[in-house]
Structure 1
Amino acid sequence: MTGMSGSGEAWSALLPEAFLLLGAVGGLLLGLWTPQQRQWRVRVLVTVACLASAVSAALALPDPAQRVFEGTWVVDTTTGVVRVVVALGVAALVWLAAPSVAGHPRETEAYVLMLLGALGTVALAASGDLLLLVAAYLLASVPLYALAGFAKDSAGTEATMKYYLMGAFVGVLLLVGVAALVLASGTTGYSELAALLPESSPVLLAVGVLGVLAGVAFKAGAVPVHFWVPDVTAGTTPPMAAYLTTIPKIGAVAAAFRLLAEPFADLPLDVPLLVAVIAAASMTLGNLAAFAQTDVLRLLAYSTVSQVGYLFMVVAVAARTDLAVPALAIYLAAYAVTNIGAFAAVVATPAARTITDWATAAAQHRWLVVSLVICLLGLVGTPPTAVFVGKLAVFAAAWDGAMPWLVVVAAVNTVASLFYYLRWIAPAFVGVPVAAATAEGSVGTGARTAAGTAQTVQRVPVVVLHAAAAMSILLGVGAGLWLGAV
């Protein structure tokens, strides 16, 4: 991995992040001088900033890996993939959130917070220093606390408090872990840590590894620090739930991957086994908890916990196989597209919170059901979707990394997950009789509605859902052809 000598060249390496930052600052200033009814201008500006960031990151992907700013910021394939996926994901999520935040007195602030959270996510993935990892953790957390309670209702306030309190607690564990590693080695850079930690105190190493892994596991929503995921997902608005369960996870998994590949690669402790156990526990507990869910948001929340388990499989073998980096790249992109699509189905029917309600809302929109089926079966890992190729790559990496038992556990969990996704799919196909509206009020206006009541479907989220379903298939076919070629 090469370094960069000039400060100008170092700053140029951060061009994708510069676009995100300029979009946040420019969006905030534009929102201050724009009438409330024309805040859509900020949405457009933020979207342009995200697309510019994604394009610049994609163009830099073929460049050699390098470390800038004294090795604290790493620009390589993992960072590049996270940059592209996060930027495009936030662009889609901004429009997914548009129907619920349009006209809100703080509409501009919502878009700005989403960009700042994206910056923190990229910083997590690019961190080559423990101090930068802590700063990235905070930047990827504080804006998200505000987004979780953006609606300012009782459910959102409770979700925000749970999210914040657990985030603060795990943040302390992260700081303790960083302090222990600094005491053990006298440095914070990943390259130096990789050389010095193997000869350090085992006690300090154990405390440091557990604390740092707790921090990234919390951002990823992995067991055992996953308790915030279902409550926050069900308590906040569906668009914000989509953001919280997609964007920060991408950076957290990439951060964990870099930790296992560099400073934790040659420790006397079996850190890969610890991460493998976390992966197995996450996919298993996530699936088991999802079986009993009738609320679609809580079902998707536990689904995201299980997905983190599959992602952590490749983290466990980060230093053991050359298949790890491409497997991580494919699965991160596949997960982002598919998870956003599944949440878009919920956002498209804002009054439908249960499986039965959703089936009723989609009764007159059969293409809505088709796209949802593609996304849900995609989360299972059904060909030719992107997650199928991602899981295949991850399973191959785990097997090549001498963890066949983890592949068996993952395969069993993959089959088991099909059943609770079918619990959502089956009623949507069968349909629910639609009852006439009562005189008590218009239908589809509350947070929840009775089963069998006709409900409205919003257009923009439907477009996002169809686009995500199509992209899942295209990405799956493209990634499959690419893997076959190499």
Structure 2
Amino acid sequence: MPVGDLAPELAVLLTAVAALLLAMALPQRRHGWCAALAAAGLAVAMGIAWSQAGAARLTFSGTFALDGATTWARLAIPGLTILCVGMSPRWFSTDRRHGEFYAMLLFSALGAMAMAGAADLMQLVMGILLSSVTGYVLAAYHRDWEISLEAGMKYFLVGALANALLVIGVVLVMGMAGSTDYATLAGAIPGDPLTVTGLALILMGLFFKLGAVPVHTWVPDVAEGAPVPAAAFLTVIPKLAGAVALYRLVALAPGIAALPILVALVSAATMTLGNLSALWQEDVRRLIGWSSVSQTGYALMAVAVAGAVPEALPALLAFMTVYGIANILAFAAVAQLRGLTDIEGYRGLIRSQPLAAIALALAFMSFVGIPPIAGFLGKFALFLATLEAGLAWLAVVAVANTVLSLFYYLRVIGPAVFAADTDPAARLGGTVLGSLWAALIVLLLTTVLWAAGWAALPAGLLP
């Protein structure tokens, strides 16, 4: 059991502990140093992960997979978390618990990394629980604000139910199949009703992390009520890990046709409900939250065809990468506007805050899939994989939902560009501006370097 196999995760863990200790020792006005420490630790984790790229083996008695998907998660999760860290110093500058926020953020990122690389159901449970428990704290971090407390409570209640169902599902699968190890379960999961029920319950726990129907209700509340850096993190990072974990699970049981059908139905329901619910939102943060739900629906298209076509996994990873960058870009624009939520406050934004307006427009264009933005390429890859697998009806539903989503994105961008200027929006500035620029540049680079990135994505998983 070489400890070095988990060096990226250990780097995040040690940085989280160090950030917590530093926050205890420093005066509140110096807690911004914890942000620098957190970003440095995450960068180190990415560097170690890059050095381990190309590994293809199971480690720690087969409970953790070192493969292409794990490498992708080890790069994407810390990388996007750094952008969330960058939004935080100015946002929490007057919060007495400023420094502790970074420890919670890192512990939650660690849970996501553990979830993405899990090759055993017990390891999966551990990663999900670590990600969830810390997520509850992040969602309700503004404990003096009723909306934030409501978001945290709803996240906790939905999560408690979903995680309980997850554990029951693991018990059922372990009891009927005799193992929790993916290498043992691969292709050998019995198709009896109890095992299929157990798998469906495990899927329910992962649907919660993804924000998919029917355990999606926390997403718009967290997007609206959590601190903007936490909202950006919680609507992206758990989804990245949950998508990989869900793909691994569905690929384990190619002989159980009910699982892909269930995922396809949930995909259609999630994208449709997310888009319909976003249509008349007057709060931009809730609109982004419902948009996040719909994006989960699109991602599930690739999971529904897991193992059926070779392009399924690359399409999933490519789409989730672009979605994560665009979603954090949208929240960075909101953070730059000091959390401005009322849609009327965005009228004439292009004149008072041109950078924030352009960033928001590009993020929304990526969500819709308007060429040549990378979001178009990600959606195209999803549609192609779905059509090749014979699920034409799901691709048609996705296209219809994409057209529908144009309406509510234009409700924000249209007035922001063409309406008369209202009172100039306040700016937050500082490192928020750095995160905004970084996310914007990365989104554009992803568009330009798409072919090289696509070629580097893995086509298969362990075991």
SS in 2 for 1:151: coil
> In structure 1, what is the Cα distance between the partners aligned to 2:456 and 2:328?
29
Distance change in 2, residues 1:410/1:211 (3 Å): same
> In structure 2, what is the Cα distance between the partners aligned to 1:428 and 1:275?
37
> In structure 2, what is the Cα distance between the partners aligned to 1:314 and 1:481?
21
> In structure 2, what is the Cα distance between the partners aligned to 1:21 and 1:335?
26
Match of 1:233 among 209, 223, 237: 223
Match of 2:80 among 86, 89, 94: 89
SS in 1 for 2:142: coil
Paired position in structure 1 for 2:110: 119
Does the aligned pair in 2 maintain the 1:178–1:208 contact within 8 Å?
yes
Q: Using the TM superposition, give the Cα deviation of residue 349 of structure 1 relative to its aligned residue in structure 2, in angstroms.
A: 1.1
Amino acid aligned to 2:152: T
TM-score, length-scaled by structure 2: 0.94
Paired position in structure 2 for 1:167: 159
Does residue 475 in structure 1 map to residue 446 in structure 2? yes
Post-superposition CA distance 1:408-440 (Å, at most 9, x none):
211221122111111110011023443xxxxxx
Does the aligned pair in 2 maintain the 1:388–1:476 contact within 8 Å?
no
Paired position in structure 2 for 1:412: 400
Paired position in structure 2 for 1:348: 336
Match of 2:385 among 374, 386, 397: 397
Does the aligned pair in 1 maintain the 2:299–2:319 contact within 8 Å?
yes
Q: Using the TM superposition, give the Cα deviation of residue 65 of structure 1 relative to its aligned residue in structure 2, in angstroms.
A: 1.4
Between the two structures, name the one with larger relative contact order (CA 8 Å, sep ≥ 6): 2
> In structure 2, what is the Cα distance between the partners aligned to 1:241 and 1:351?
11
Paired position in structure 2 for 1:151: 142
Does the aligned pair in 2 maintain the 1:179–1:208 contact within 8 Å?
yes
Amino acid aligned to 2:50: A
Does residue 17 in structure 1 map to residue 9 in structure 2? yes
SS in 2 for 1:80: helix
| Equivalent residues, number | 455
> In structure 1, what is the Cα distance between the partners aligned to 2:63 and 2:47?
24
> In structure 2, what is the Cα distance between the partners aligned to 1:56 and 1:429?
43
SS in 1 for 2:58: strand
Q: Using the TM superposition, give the Cα deviation of residue 367 of structure 1 relative to its aligned residue in structure 2, in angstroms.
A: 2.8
324-333 or 178-187: bigger deviation: 324-333
Paired position in structure 2 for 1:328: 316
Distance change in 2, residues 1:415/1:481 (3 Å): farther
> In structure 1, what is the Cα distance between the partners aligned to 2:424 and 2:187?
63
SS in 2 for 1:111: helix
> In structure 2, what is the Cα distance between the partners aligned to 1:243 and 1:367?
22
Does the aligned pair in 1 maintain the 2:347–2:421 contact within 8 Å?
no
SS in 2 for 1:74: strand
Structure 1 residue runs of 5 or longer lacking an equivalent are 1-6, 435-452
SS in 1 for 2:95: coil
Paired position in structure 1 for 2:461: none
> In structure 1, what is the Cα distance between the partners aligned to 2:21 and 2:299?
38
Amino acid aligned to 1:59: S
Match of 1:358 among 346, 358, 369: 346
> In structure 2, what is the Cα distance between the partners aligned to 1:158 and 1:13?
40
Distance change in 2, residues 1:351/1:217 (3 Å): closer
Q: Using the TM superposition, give the Cα deviation of residue 233 of structure 1 relative to its aligned residue in structure 2, in angstroms.
A: 1.8
Match of 2:234 among 226, 240, 244: 244
Q: Percent identity?
A: 37
Does residue 203 in structure 1 map to residue 167 in structure 2? no
Q: Using the TM superposition, give the Cα deviation of residue 402 of structure 1 relative to its aligned residue in structure 2, in angstroms.
A: 2.2
Paired position in structure 1 for 2:367: 379
Post-superposition CA distance 1:92-141 (Å, at most 9, x none):
10111221212421111100000000011111111111111111111010
Paired position in structure 1 for 2:208: 218
Q: Using the TM superposition, give the Cα deviation of residue 362 of structure 1 relative to its aligned residue in structure 2, in angstroms.
A: 5.4
Post-superposition CA distance 1:67-95 (Å, at most 9, x none):
10111101111111111111011111011
Matches within 5 A, 1:69-108: 69-108=60-99
| Superposition CA RMSD, Å | 1.8
> In structure 2, what is the Cα distance between the partners aligned to 1:85 and 1:351?
25
Structure 2 residue runs of 5 or longer lacking an equivalent are 458-463
> In structure 1, what is the Cα distance between the partners aligned to 2:353 and 2:437?
12
SS in 2 for 1:67: strand
Does residue 425 in structure 1 map to residue 413 in structure 2? yes
Paired position in structure 2 for 1:447: none
347-356 or 417-426: bigger deviation: 347-356
Amino acid aligned to 1:260: V
SS in 2 for 1:14: helix
Q: Using the TM superposition, give the Cα deviation of residue 222 of structure 1 relative to its aligned residue in structure 2, in angstroms.
A: 0.5
Amino acid aligned to 1:226: H
